[in-house]
Structure 1
């Protein structure tokens, strides 16, 4: 479970240029080369092969909080900038025309994703998202020095062949959350990670622990863990060094790990929650971690405090007053102290989210509103305000914020995503407003017509969402008439697509079948 509302989760760093896909003209940053189409990527891979350099591909978006965290803690590190001279750095902005087609090519979905390729174009590894910047640097250096695809390393490990400590670390710190089934089907991950953890024993203790934690955490999808292994988890929590090394797993997956070892409420669960809370409190106070990582630890404490509260209950009971005070204090301090725009986009949105999870809606709303004028992507904050209002039962406010977020959103993929969110809110909160619902759907179809990547990846999922919601909504004469007009519009969009793009044609034609 990634606690930050954006997906995905990844916690790392700052690019000195305006966007990761831009050149660092001052010569002091990473010289990212922008890619928006296959021809761009092919050119960079040809360059990499000629120069015998690996390729580091970054997939992200301007608004994405974890992407902005990358821009605030990793890409501006002197060692990362120096290391970047050893590879061809390629940045894909998910809102560039046609970028979503590249998402299909590289099997990337969540923002951000970092993939390292060898000079021949074979994928070496996907870098871990939640690990801190120093750990990511180590994994990057391992991948650069090895040049061996992690897929081959995994095959050797599963076959029982001997691996070096560095090869085990490539597996342990692989970006499993952004794998998109490149190495393993999702249903095989937990068992395979457990197998790898066992096989790596005695080679690299940190890697063994990481593989084991992941095998019983979020990737286990709610399955109970072996109770005999509980002392092992307690040892990690009690040891500040081990807890720091596994920071991202412990903060992001604390509820999953607690439920795995203590499925039912009671004394055993309370004791484990207390041990987790102590470890997360240390991480929250650890000045060597980024502000976002420290807040993520605080959010982990809040999630544990509301563990037995229904998931979507907007007013959780039983959160200790001292923890609520810490949430207020740390969110306010972050808002006052942050001066970097990238860090603000990452941290303020996270702080507002954790305040909401604590039931502090007034504070969450005020924080988001105070940050609107200073955000380079205010529509993300507006969308959060819409979500806050909806959870509090304020329908009119929710629709107003979702509409404003859509109107202010920028970039083809982002506009389809934000528009589909606004559309979903209309269907849920104002299903009787047929004219408004039809108008928004028609606008989204019109924008899809102008976007060459509209029927790929994130944009296709946004359009599928709209079509599915239309199907669920289509239950009367007025709705049927509106859906009929929208279908005619979409038929025209499909008819104008390049006939050679069979993928887009098929996706487009399949949409209205859902309605």
Structure 2
């Protein structure tokens, strides 16, 4: 007890990180915050009685970005202090009925963080990829705003005047996890482009961020709508040449590089100018100590991707490989907190693998298996590395081991779906393995209270589609018949009025078809 109190005081003071044992012992979140864990109705009841907003965090123990948020935001004294203004509720994706609630609140990706009014009206969705200072500013704006973001967006699109803080809320809204809450998903890109044109130019920082978000959204579209490419290039070059603007928008600069250059590099000269400027800026960001190690590794990964994009099939230069190794070693050494390590080591392992340093990636990940609170995530990268080498047996071994080690209702279904999918791809002749793996996944579904909602539903849909493809020549009718019968048994146990039943029945039909 004394050790626990001492460690808690040190953690809150920033003097000692939580150990891996602390996390494994059940500390799914950093201490210091009075989370309502899993009981969303109780959180809203408390919010109504106290007239406080609700802050919903939807995440998972294994999720690298979630662990990044825990390591950089949730453990900050200023965030912990801010939680006194609202009722914080943590909805773990593996808790009972979590996927059903996920479908209700339209949350899909981990992490998703939403601020609600006490009556359940959604105020805003908070971005998980930005730095803590921007995050906390956005949170405070959400707490004091008169209108929810959906209303602010309607006003902006109608040409009504907005306050500077309202424009900033729109600029920092988590558009990537909106899930059609404030605007249909198909309209997000065009909406961002329109907002970027309408934000008052005098609000320089906000205008720049909206313009960058619009460019990033356009770059992600297969068929981008017509827009002024010359103006977009000029805006990007201005940001890339400016230390302050680039740092303020580091999340976009780091993660939109390749697509934006493809979109805007209309001729060789323009392409080269953008590529050179972006490389120079990424080199600065990967060395920026004010960024998290996750983002610094992201900058290195972007440098690597840009080189490969420009020099397809050419060997990587020694200096670039040395940079990758140096960044990984520094990130490994600097990351003691287990939340940070879960985010950083996965990113580092993937970075080494992307650089073709598969053995070094394996070594890093294998060493982490002993202490990670979610080693099954690292096992997926080890499986991918083996797959890249062409070692199908080793890859399948890791996919299976990852599934066996995974924990939690939704997580087991997701990892099981990955195992089944790869078994069908890598060893379609091994009918025994495929039937056993799928059977175990369906058994997991039968034990889950919300197997046919949201993320879990998509995992089972993946299994069903893979089994259908595997049996397209009808050579596995026996195995498919037994599996369809097993899943039918799961469906039969669902009450007639349960919304999951038609989903389950539909999956059985998919498998049989």
Q: Give the Cα separation in 1 of the matches to 2:117 and 2:27.
A: 22
Q: Secondary structure at the match of 1:492?
A: helix
Note if 1:379 corresponds to 2:382.
no
Give the stretch that moved more between structures: 173-182 or 468-477: 468-477
2:52–2:117 Cα contact (<8 Å) kept: yes
1:189–1:215 Cα contact (<8 Å) kept: no
Query: What is aligned with 2:437?
Result: 440
Scaled by the length of structure 1, the TM-score of the pair is: 0.91
Aligned pairs (5 A) from 1:235-314: 235-262=238-265, 266-308=268-310
Q: Give the Cα separation in 1 of the matches to 2:123 and 2:79.
A: 18
Query: What is aligned with 2:328?
Result: 331
Instruction: Mark the runs of 5 or more structure 1 residues left unpaired by the alignment.
Output: 1-12, 311-315
- C-alpha distance after superposition, 1:320-361 (max 9, x if no partner): 321211101111222233211111110010011112222222
Q: CA deviation at 1:143?
A: 0.2
Note if 1:506 corresponds to 2:506.
no
Q: Which runs of 4+ in 1 moved over 3 A?
A: 13-19, 21-25, 475-478
Give the stretch that moved more between structures: 202-211 or 149-158: 202-211
Note if 1:149 corresponds to 2:148.
yes
Q: Give the Cα separation in 2 of the matches to 1:15 and 1:187.
A: 43
Q: CA deviation at 1:447?
A: 1.0
1:217–1:260 Cα contact (<8 Å) kept: no
- C-alpha distance after superposition, 1:440-489 (max 9, x if no partner): 11111111011011000111101000000111011455411110111111
What is the RMSD computed on CA atoms of the aligned residues? 2.1
Q: Secondary structure at the match of 1:120?
A: coil
Q: Give the Cα separation in 2 of the matches to 1:320 and 1:139.
A: 41
Q: Secondary structure at the match of 1:374?
A: coil
Q: Give the Cα separation in 1 of the matches to 2:146 and 2:67.
A: 28
Query: What is aligned with 2:8?
Result: none
- C-alpha distance after superposition, 1:1-45 (max 9, x if no partner): xxxxxxxxxxxx9997859x97989xx61111111xxxx322211
Q: Give the Cα separation in 1 of the matches to 2:319 and 2:404.
A: 40
Query: What is aligned with 1:486?
Result: 483
**Structure 2 CA distance for partners of 1:214 and 1:61, relative to 1, 3 Å:** same
Note if 1:33 corresponds to 2:32.
no
2:17–2:336 Cα contact (<8 Å) kept: no
Note if 1:171 corresponds to 2:203.
no
Give the stretch that moved more between structures: 167-176 or 223-232: 223-232
Query: What is aligned with 1:89?
Result: 88
Q: Give the Cα separation in 1 of the matches to 2:83 and 2:17.
A: 12
Q: Give the Cα separation in 2 of the matches to 1:320 and 1:506.
A: 55
1:225–1:261 Cα contact (<8 Å) kept: no
Q: Give the Cα separation in 2 of the matches to 1:147 and 1:115.
A: 16
**Structure 2 CA distance for partners of 1:103 and 1:343, relative to 1, 3 Å:** same
Give the stretch that moved more between structures: 144-153 or 255-264: 255-264
Residue of structure 2 aligned with 1:233, choices 231, 236, 240: 236
Query: What is aligned with 2:351?
Result: 354
Query: What is aligned with 1:10?
Result: none
Give the count of matched residue pairs: 489
Scaled by the length of structure 2, the TM-score of the pair is: 0.91
Query: What is aligned with 1:6?
Result: none
Q: CA deviation at 1:388?
A: 1.5
Q: CA deviation at 1:110?
A: 0.4
Q: Secondary structure at the match of 2:309?
A: coil
Query: What is aligned with 2:129?
Result: 130
2:300–2:327 Cα contact (<8 Å) kept: no
**Structure 2 CA distance for partners of 1:15 and 1:298, relative to 1, 3 Å:** same
1:59–1:111 Cα contact (<8 Å) kept: yes
1:68–1:342 Cα contact (<8 Å) kept: yes
2:69–2:128 Cα contact (<8 Å) kept: no
1:194–1:212 Cα contact (<8 Å) kept: yes
Aligned pairs (5 A) from 1:381-460: 381-460=378-457
Q: CA deviation at 1:267?
A: 3.8
Give the stretch that moved more between structures: 185-194 or 232-241: 185-194
